Structure 1
Amino acid sequence: MSTAGLQVAIKNHTTTSHPSPHILYVVQVSTEQEQCQVLRRFSELYELHLSLGDQYNFPPKRSVPNSLLPRAWVDDELIAERKSGLEEYLTNVLNDPKFAGSTKIAKFLSDNKVDAIGDPEMSSFGMLRQVVLQGDAPKDAEAKRPVAAAYYTSWSAWSNPPSKIDFSKFDILFYAFVVPNSSAKISWDSGSQDTLRSLVSSARKSGKGTKIVLSIGGWAGSYWFSNSMSNNDNRQRLANDLIGAVNSFGLDGIDIDWEYPNSEGSGNPHSSKDASNLLTFIKILRSRLGWSKIISAAVPHQPWLGPDARPMRNVSDFAAQMTYNYDVSGGAAPPGPNAPLGNACNKPKFSNANAQAALAFWTASGFPASKLLLGLPLYGYVIKSSATKMSASLVDNVENMGKHLIQGTYKHEGGDNELAPAGDLTHLYGQQIGFNQLVSMRALKRQQDGSYVGDNGYKRGWDNCSSTPFLFNTAKSTFVSYDDPQSLAMKAQFAKQKGFGGCFTWSLDQDDGVALQNAIRKDLGLK
């Protein structure tokens, strides 16, 4: 989107006595659709001029009297001269293609001093900032580096406390979950706020720069999303709670895991207006959080359903406001692949539910690959079956399992697994199982070279159609579809080759130490 045609007006000013008496100029920037304003000191405009090194004329830097005498703010001639000169200067800079995408301009125009004119939802300065930045988020060297992220679940704190996390392996951790409630506010599980404080504290003390983002929703936590998004009062109320949490805990952003807009998910109320209401809500968050914070969403392999109950064909408005979308790679079904990379064998039921297809769906709808993170599962499914190879059955059997797990947000409660005989997974039929459980329950064992093979009667197989491994034990009628270092590395390599923003995993506590995360990082090109 061209920056040409931005209108700048500086007609008014105000004063403040903090930290010392000075003038604030009301800078108004507008397009045909948006009109927003921000208050700026002369010195802030001058600093922008110096940092850009531009050649445009800038008003002389002469002092305005700022004593406490009545005349302190009435040097009308100089103030009027400055307004005219600053207006001309900003008009030139903002419409100069050379500065399109400038993070310096973006920072100058969008921080906590922003005040939107008109409807705060539809005329947020965050929207206007996208015009200045040609419809994209801030561009810097860090944005080109792939992101390695993971979900950290509040209920795993007892087995994997924040103090034991190797933060050097994670650029972002998404803390799961808070949930929207019937009052359009957020609810916390018992003890989860203490865990979050510990997570933030541990991350900061590590010095590794890991960002902590609060995730709202999840498979079992999306019941009140549609209601919370349904009107302006509810949206503002939910935004207030989330922004309050960001400020209170010192967080780096908000992740929205709504399963799913205009779709019932786990029997949830939904509306044909869900997707448009979600976009409005995201704009509220962006306008109030500014651009230093992450706003992300976990999504299915096709775009959200629009008012016609079909996947949206244009999600570019979402992309303009969001830092990342988390693009996941398929579902699970007995005895189908866990998370197919592709559909090399052209099996009809795998045609849409794979990473390659998901990338095509989202990018064709206007969401750039650089803002997508590929979702990678650190879990598998235990299936009662005597099969020794993958089946073509995928979609039909997802429903038979009774748990739609395409988002990877099913809360596995565990159980008395340690009491089962080595390699016996029969009590887990139809359930999700973490990779580290496969190891601890001795269905898998790690070899000296870091690879994993079957143990206690299990044999490891490989499905070329989906590029995923599986385990089978015919004597126990047990089949396991899962992912391991080899398959995850292939997905990470695909993400890097296709220009994804990076990868994320569900969930950190299911790794065997950091064996899986190391494999992902290596093929993302990270140390």
Structure 2
Amino acid sequence: MQLDRLPKKKVVIGYVGGFRGLVDVRRISAEKLTHINYAFVDVKNNRAFLHHEATDTVNFQQLNLLKLKNPDLKILISIGGWAWSENFSDAALSDTSRKAFAESAVKIIEKFKLDGVDIDWEYPGIAGEEGNVFRPEDKQNFTLMLKELRLELDSLEKKQQSKKLLTIAVGGFTNFIHHTEMDKVQQYLDFVNLMTYDFYNSDFAGHHTNLYNSKSHPAENYADKTFREFAAAGVPADKLVMGIAFYSRAFTLKESAKNGLGDSVLKSSYGKGYTFLKDSLINQKGFKKYYDKDAKASYLYNAASREYMTYDDERSVKAKCEYVLKNNMGGVMFWEYDSDLNGYLLNQINKSLK
């Protein structure tokens, strides 16, 4: 057996939101994480750009102090995200722009003594948020941009004699694969974080972060399908990281609603975090908890108010972690730390991956 193929410790990657302002690092259980992805850094004039440099600077200093608790902890900047992906296509467009972008991203991690870069482009070649720029050329340019980043990180690695990571977050759906070259892209990457959440649709109440398809109300996307498709596209299983949602998706259903799951949707919204659900809503205030055994997914339904919520809980997280172990995946990641400050799901992850 080659030494580098020994079973690696599973990663536990937590996205921490610096976009809100100062992060209260006292609430972060550093010893239960392997990586923190700091969200987000913007893209402006083909460069990685800190909009809130004053608070970002403090956040980076504070996050680095967590290494006193966990010396193996790695801290990465995550660039882009849903709201800040509109300029990626321009930044990736030419040799010059890609080099400028890669240099600027690596300068940030060098300046603040961080460990790597996570690219969260939503999405190459397809529309993300309204107004985002996207082009057919994004398919190849995405690969070239990551190659350029890897080269810059390699230079910093040599200079500092310490490993620098490059990871990406990817849409957990087939169309993402069609608009990227995952077999080529993966060679530059340490991990591919599968966003196996936000799977809901606007027509009927389904699951947003289910491991398998629901038999009673099948839908297009589910985590098992995402994993298998990315593996088939050429990404090694041990680089693929399962996404867990620390937040819910909430829906108000039409008057005809009977059971919650499968009923017609009137309107939807980003839901509350799991700590709030567990402490204040589950089997309280008219909200009854259900579990779809086929999908390995939990949901809440309030028949009186016709409110439906889909989310990950300890049971669904345990199932996802067992899947990670069984399929030799790299580990798990979650969005996002603030949604479960009481640590219910992170504790379950640590228990299940031991």
TM-score (norm 2): 0.88
* Alignment deviations for residues 253-273 of structure 1 (CA, whole Å, 9 cap, x no partner): 000000000011112111111
Q: Distance in 1 between matches of 2:327 and 2:305?
A: 41
Q: Which residue of 1 aligns with 2:326?
A: 497
Q: Distance in 2 between matches of 1:519 and 1:236?
A: 41
The answer as to whether partners of 1:492 and 1:524 remain within 8 angstroms in 2 is yes
The amino acid of 2:193's aligned partner reads Y
Q: Distance in 1 between matches of 2:63 and 2:175?
A: 31
Q: Distance in 2 between matches of 1:434 and 1:148?
A: 19
The answer as to whether partners of 1:303 and 1:311 remain within 8 angstroms in 2 is no
Q: Which residue of 2 aligns with 1:323?
A: 190
Q: Which residue of 1 aligns with 2:247?
A: 379
Gaps (5+ residues) in structure 2? 158-162
Q: Distance in 1 between matches of 2:284 and 2:217?
A: 30
Q: Say which SS state the counterpart of residue 12 (structure 2) adopts.
A: strand
The answer as to whether partners of 1:200 and 1:251 remain within 8 angstroms in 2 is no
Q: Which residue of 2 aligns with 1:422?
A: none
Q: Which residue of 2 aligns with 1:456?
A: 285
1:293 and 2:164 matched:
yes
Q: Distance in 2 between matches of 1:248 and 1:270?
A: 31
Q: Distance in 1 between matches of 2:200 and 2:107?
A: 37
Q: Which residue of 1 aligns with 2:274?
A: 435
The amino acid of 1:318's aligned partner reads V
The answer as to whether partners of 1:329 and 1:374 remain within 8 angstroms in 2 is yes
Gap change, CA 1:152 and 1:195, over 3 Å in 2: farther
CA positional deviation for 1:487: 0.7
The answer as to whether partners of 2:213 and 2:219 remain within 8 angstroms in 1 is no
The answer as to whether partners of 1:212 and 1:252 remain within 8 angstroms in 2 is yes
The answer as to whether partners of 1:302 and 1:311 remain within 8 angstroms in 2 is no
Gaps (5+ residues) in structure 1? 1-97, 103-138, 402-428, 445-453
Gap change, CA 1:471 and 1:344, over 3 Å in 2: closer
Q: Say which SS state the counterpart of residue 300 (structure 2) adopts.
A: strand
Answer 1 or 2: higher relative contact order, Cα 8 Å, separation at least 6.
Answer: 2
1:231 and 2:102 matched:
no
1:354 and 2:222 matched:
yes
Question: Quick one: which of 147, 151, 155 aligns to 2:11?
Answer: 147
Question: Quick one: which of 299, 302, 306 aligns to 1:473?
Answer: 302
Question: Quick one: which of 179, 182, 188 aligns to 2:42?
Answer: 179
CA positional deviation for 1:348: 4.8
For the aligned residues, what is the CA RMSD? 2.4
The answer as to whether partners of 1:239 and 1:285 remain within 8 angstroms in 2 is yes
The answer as to whether partners of 1:387 and 1:479 remain within 8 angstroms in 2 is no
Q: Say which SS state the counterpart of residue 325 (structure 2) adopts.
A: helix
Q: Which residue of 2 aligns with 1:507?
A: 336
Q: Distance in 1 between matches of 2:139 and 2:100?
A: 18
Q: How many residues align?
A: 340
Q: Say which SS state the counterpart of residue 299 (structure 2) adopts.
A: strand
CA positional deviation for 1:328: 2.5
Q: Distance in 2 between matches of 1:392 and 1:491?
A: 26
Question: Quick one: which of 360, 364, 369 aligns to 2:232?
Answer: 364
Question: Quick one: which of 97, 102, 114 aligns to 1:251?
Answer: 114
Q: Give the number of the structure whose alpha-carbon radius of gyration is greater.
A: 1
Q: Distance in 2 between matches of 1:252 and 1:146?
A: 18
Question: Quick one: which of 198, 203, 210 aligns to 1:340?
Answer: 210
Trace 1:120-199 onto structure 2 (pairs within 5 A): 139=4, 141=6, 144-155=8-19, 161-189=24-52, 191-199=54-62
Gap change, CA 1:262 and 1:489, over 3 Å in 2: same
CA positional deviation for 1:512: 4.4
The amino acid of 2:135's aligned partner reads S
Q: Distance in 2 between matches of 1:302 and 1:470?
A: 22
* Alignment deviations for residues 50-88 of structure 1 (CA, whole Å, 9 cap, x no partner): xxxxxxxxxxxxxxxxxxxxxxxxxxxxxxxxxxxxxxx
* Alignment deviations for residues 5-55 of structure 1 (CA, whole Å, 9 cap, x no partner): xxxxxxxxxxxxxxxxxxxxxxxxxxxxxxxxxxxxxxxxxxxxxxxxxxx
Q: Say which SS state the counterpart of residue 262 (structure 1) adopts.
A: coil
Q: Distance in 1 between matches of 2:301 and 2:53?
A: 39
The amino acid of 2:328's aligned partner reads G
The amino acid of 1:478's aligned partner reads E
The amino acid of 1:288's aligned partner reads E
The amino acid of 1:443's aligned partner reads L
Q: Distance in 1 between matches of 2:352 and 2:213?
A: 21
Q: Distance in 1 between matches of 2:61 and 2:26?
A: 8
Q: Say which SS state the counterpart of residue 319 (structure 1) adopts.
A: helix
The answer as to whether partners of 1:389 and 1:461 remain within 8 angstroms in 2 is no
Trace 1:94-109 onto structure 2 (pairs within 5 A): none
The answer as to whether partners of 1:150 and 1:504 remain within 8 angstroms in 2 is yes
The answer as to whether partners of 1:154 and 1:177 remain within 8 angstroms in 2 is yes
Q: Say which SS state the counterpart of residue 340 (structure 1) adopts.
A: coil
Instruction: Give % identity.
Output: 24
Question: Quick one: which of 83, 97, 104 aligns to 1:220?
Answer: 83
The answer as to whether partners of 1:347 and 1:392 remain within 8 angstroms in 2 is no
Gap change, CA 1:347 and 1:519, over 3 Å in 2: same
The amino acid of 1:432's aligned partner reads G
The amino acid of 2:298's aligned partner reads P
CA positional deviation for 1:478: 1.3
